[in-house]
Structure 1
Amino acid sequence: MDRGELAKVLETFVSTRFLMVIFVSVGTFLQYAQRVSFPMAIICMTNNTAMAMAQNHSSEASQIDGEFLWDANDHAQLNSGFYYGYVLGHLPMGLIIQKVGAKWPGFVMLFGYGIISIISPYIAKLGISYFVAVRALSGLIVSGWYPSIYYLIPKWIILEERGRMTSIGCAGSNVGSIFAMPLAGIMCASSLGYLLIFQSWGVVSIGFAILWAFIVYDSPFLHPRISQRERDFLHSKIDKDDKDKHAKMKLPIISMLKSISLWAYATVHYALDWSLVFLLTSVPTYMKDVLQFSLQVNAMLSSLPYVGLFFGTLAFGFLSDLLITRSKLSLVATRKLVNSLALFPAAIFFSSMSFLDAEQKFIAVTLLVLSLFFTSGSFAGAFMTPMDVAAPYASLIFSFVNCIANTSGFFVPRLIAYMTPNSTAAEWRFVFYLTGAIIALSATIFLIFAKADPEPWLNQNQSKSHKNSNIEVELPLNEDKKSTL
């Protein structure tokens, strides 16, 4: 790297657009930290009559006598409550973000989630049904977070930086998953117990929401403190359709549904969610019953796949941008290559785990970490499709696809339980085959059908004579004028 390139890198890291990405990443971290802490929190809240659940997480937690008499079914109900609101909220939140931008919805999500976190222990005292309802409300409130990311990235980040910046923004989820669970265990063992878990994250989230309101803006052309140099640079790079307009835009719903490239992306998105649900809900059982790890070791190893996700997300993001800036590959070829380099090895690693037993337990864990490391590469591959082919509608497209993909959380655990009634190695073999096959199939579909050129129907969104089947909304594109708080 010569001095000129080094100067460009340093300039990027002190830029306003990089600050936006950091705020997105920290916000993502807080969302996931609160979400991942919840299972430990309810264990900490549970009385010894139900503390058998605690042994699945930490030996320290099992010594704590909570005040609530919750059994395994109650825990399952509480853990799933979040996803009811999360799935139902995606499309409404996507439409809201498409209408008003991401700044203030992001503030509401951070602030609202913080408030709910603080009051949750007191709501729990009213009864478990009230607690489940609050969990569903929290899922509903934060359901627009990733659509917000997909709204902000195309408006702030140029194509050559989009892979690594998106990866950095999303990597906060993995960091939250890695650190939140053990930290929750430490908090649980403190004198304040579960109250510290809920209220500390709640206060931090509210404080960060206030910072978000002052720092984050929907585009560089609305930001009052961005340098003129960076504003001019982004002005020359970002598609003019994303700035300096205030027109009634059309949502080409029918055209979106007919887009083969978007459906190719959707298959990868679904496969990724399948693998993550499998990791979260079923892999611990496999490690206990087939690999015969003790409960304590099982808990210690539970964060390792998220470490693989974190480093894989960053590595493939930087690889994607490197190929775009330094190779002669087209954009679509780059997306297909990165996605294939990620998912085909992941499918092989998942399938290979089916051949291992307790005698190769540490090899199995290594393969699991590698599986998630490579799976995360799809964030710099297929997951860039909404921003590549339909940037003005990327947040809404992500909302729709993520809503569908998250339904895997409802039936994948049940399907795996049906396939493994005795939890034997032979039964689990078919589960790993199926997961590997789904990942490989999604990668193949994307390799064949993916595109990266803007969809032709994007040019129709200014036409007042557009088909009546599309929905008309007013997008927040009046970006000539700087806005201030």
Structure 2
Amino acid sequence: MDAQKNQKKRPALGIEPRERSQEYEATWCFWRRRRLIVALLAFFGFFNVYALRVNLSVAVVAMTERVETKLDNGTVVLIPEFDWSPKTKGLVLSSFFYGYLITQLPGGWLAAKIGGNRMFAIGIGATSLLTLFTPPLAHTSTSLLIAVRVVEGLFEGVTYPCIHAVWSRWAPAGERARLATFAFSGSYAGTVVSMPLCSLLAHYTGWPGIFYVFGIMGLVWTTIWWLVVKESPEKDPLISPSELKYIQDSRGTQAIEGSKIRHPWRAILTSGPVWAIVMAHFSENWGFYTLLTFLPTFMQDVFKFKTSQTGWVSAVPYLAMAIVLQVAGHLADWLLQKGVLSRTNIRKLFNCGAFLAQTIFMIAASYATSVAGCLVCLTIAVGLGGFAWSGFSVNHLDIAPPHASVLMGLSNTIATLPGIISPPLAGSIVTGKTAEEWRVVFFISSAIYLLGAIIYGIFCSGEKQPWVVEAETEPSFDTDGASVTTARGYDNKAMDHSEM
């Protein structure tokens, strides 16, 4: 009996140091955890996504600015390099979104088929390459500039759906919120950094330098991502057996070959939880795009801000969003791991709570009588969106992991519409540049936030939907005999005995 007791104790004694070592590595040696490397590179990927998106917004100021030009007769006059009308300038700036809208669903479908990691790299890499050609094309023809921005939008449109295809394979169930929100926060960090950096580049190198610097940065990132990030942890030769097993066990070992995935479109399009996500994504983007487009103008009209002062004001909400995203993602996963709330209730609490607070602070901002008060209210309203993103933006992975990329494509397609609808609607309302007119714009955003909270609160689910199983395939075996792909996923038996 004593010998049997000793035999039972040995494995426990042997496992304990490894568990402690793994916990230590998670804290200090993040580079040994491959999923964290994926998250870090995804962060810089979205950093590039938004840097490449907003670069023209800054460059266009320098492109249309009046500069001293010496004519052939020796006369010095002030004329812009590109003498665009307001209509032409608006078309140039909005052309990106027309391409961006088209490829959301196709991008999600392709990501599920050929791998989210590849499509993510292709999307950013192609956009970066086209960015390098922007200056010569702009000098050649305004039509060519508009065309290249549309094509850039086509390629960038695949990025958000693609990253969910990556997380459906790489993210353990208990870490979805923190990994996804950390990656998404790169978007806002990219905006905060790139806007002032673009201004510096325009001043010291001329506006073409903006496109050359960010284009090269994007291509460097693309190369690193392509070499390092694999489609799934099963295909990563550098992942440890213990991390592989942890990911497989935690996510439900779902990793079906992309070519075998069949998306149940009827079930998807008639699913209440799916449309709850779509409405939440639409609501969050409506308020966000309204402020993204009109915050400087609002501060100028209502508080008589000088144009030179609006740049830093525009960056503050993005900074708040980037910070809150980190806190919200970790908090959501912590509540889930501790069993404080169910996954469904966590998603509802974070999303609906954020929307209700945003409703209040948007209205408060419209009635603020001081710059400081207004800026605080708007920063809180935008920043609280980080909690909403820890709700709806990872919800696709909760309800249908194999189809998360196409679900993100669906929700992001509809969530792109506010970027097209909101600016002209606000422009038609604010004709006299009065505080009362701006109040109407803010009330519309608040109403949409409130509607999003109601619909999401009623129809949201954090559980895997029954129609997901119907989309999976029959069991099939890999040729090496070491692993098996089943209808429920990928079970790598060869790794079980190596390390826990």
Correspondence for 1:186 among 200, 211, 217: 200
Any residues of structure 2 matched to 1:158-177 within 5 Å, and which?
A: 158-177=172-191
Structure with higher Rg: it is 2
Give distance in 1, aligned partners of 2:208 and 2:93.
18
Task: Indicate the residue corresponding to 2:229 in structure 1.
Answer: 216
Give distance in 2, aligned partners of 1:110 and 1:345.
34
TM-score calculated relative to the size of structure 1: 0.88
CA contact (8 A) 2:254 2:490 kept: no
Task: Indicate the residue corresponding to 1:121 in structure 2.
Answer: 135
Any residues of structure 2 matched to 1:36-435 within 5 Å, and which?
A: 36-48=54-66, 67-190=81-204, 192-243=205-256, 248-357=260-369, 360-435=370-445
- 50 and 114 in structure 1: CA distance in 2 versus 1, 3 angstrom threshold: farther
CA contact (8 A) 1:157 1:165 kept: yes
What 5-or-longer segments of structure 1 have no aligned partner?
Answer: 52-63, 465-474
TM superposition shift of 1:229: 2.1
Paired residue secondary structure (1:221): helix
Correspondence for 2:452 among 414, 420, 442: 442
Paired residue secondary structure (1:151): helix
* CA deviation string 1:262-300 (max 9, x = no partner): 111111100111011101112222111112222222222
Paired residue secondary structure (1:282): helix
Paired residue secondary structure (1:94): helix
CA contact (8 A) 2:116 2:166 kept: yes
Question: Number of matched residues?
Answer: 454
Paired residue secondary structure (1:132): helix
Give distance in 2, aligned partners of 1:13 and 1:33.
25
- 25 and 443 in structure 1: CA distance in 2 versus 1, 3 angstrom threshold: same
* CA deviation string 1:362-421 (max 9, x = no partner): 100011100011122111112222100011000111111111111111221111122222
Amino acid at match of 1:132: I
Paired residue secondary structure (2:238): coil
Paired residue secondary structure (1:29): helix
Identity of aligned residues (%): 27
Paired residue secondary structure (1:77): helix
CA contact (8 A) 2:124 2:159 kept: no
Amino acid at match of 1:249: I
Correspondence for 1:21 among 27, 33, 39: 39
Amino acid at match of 2:49: Q
Amino acid at match of 2:414: I
- 336 and 121 in structure 1: CA distance in 2 versus 1, 3 angstrom threshold: same
CA contact (8 A) 1:36 1:176 kept: no
Q: Which is worse superposed, 455-464 or 400-409?
A: 455-464
Amino acid at match of 1:251: H
TM-score calculated relative to the size of structure 2: 0.86
Give distance in 2, aligned partners of 1:196 and 1:481.
53
Paired residue secondary structure (2:262): strand
- 141 and 480 in structure 1: CA distance in 2 versus 1, 3 angstrom threshold: farther
TM superposition shift of 1:340: 2.6
TM superposition shift of 1:78: 1.0
Give distance in 2, aligned partners of 1:147 and 1:179.
24
* CA deviation string 1:43-62 (max 9, x = no partner): 222351799xxxxxxxxxxx
TM superposition shift of 1:454: 0.7
CA contact (8 A) 1:260 1:450 kept: yes
Amino acid at match of 1:262: V
Give distance in 2, aligned partners of 1:478 and 1:111.
30
Aligned Cα RMSD in Å? Answer: 2.5
TM superposition shift of 1:103: 2.1
Paired residue secondary structure (1:189): helix
- 44 and 218 in structure 1: CA distance in 2 versus 1, 3 angstrom threshold: same
* CA deviation string 1:29-82 (max 9, x = no partner): 01111211211112222351799xxxxxxxxxxxx9763222332221111111
CA contact (8 A) 2:177 2:329 kept: yes
Q: Choose between structure 1 and 2 for higher RCO, CA contacts under 8 A separated by at least 6 residues.
A: 1
Amino acid at match of 2:306: S
CA contact (8 A) 1:171 1:313 kept: yes
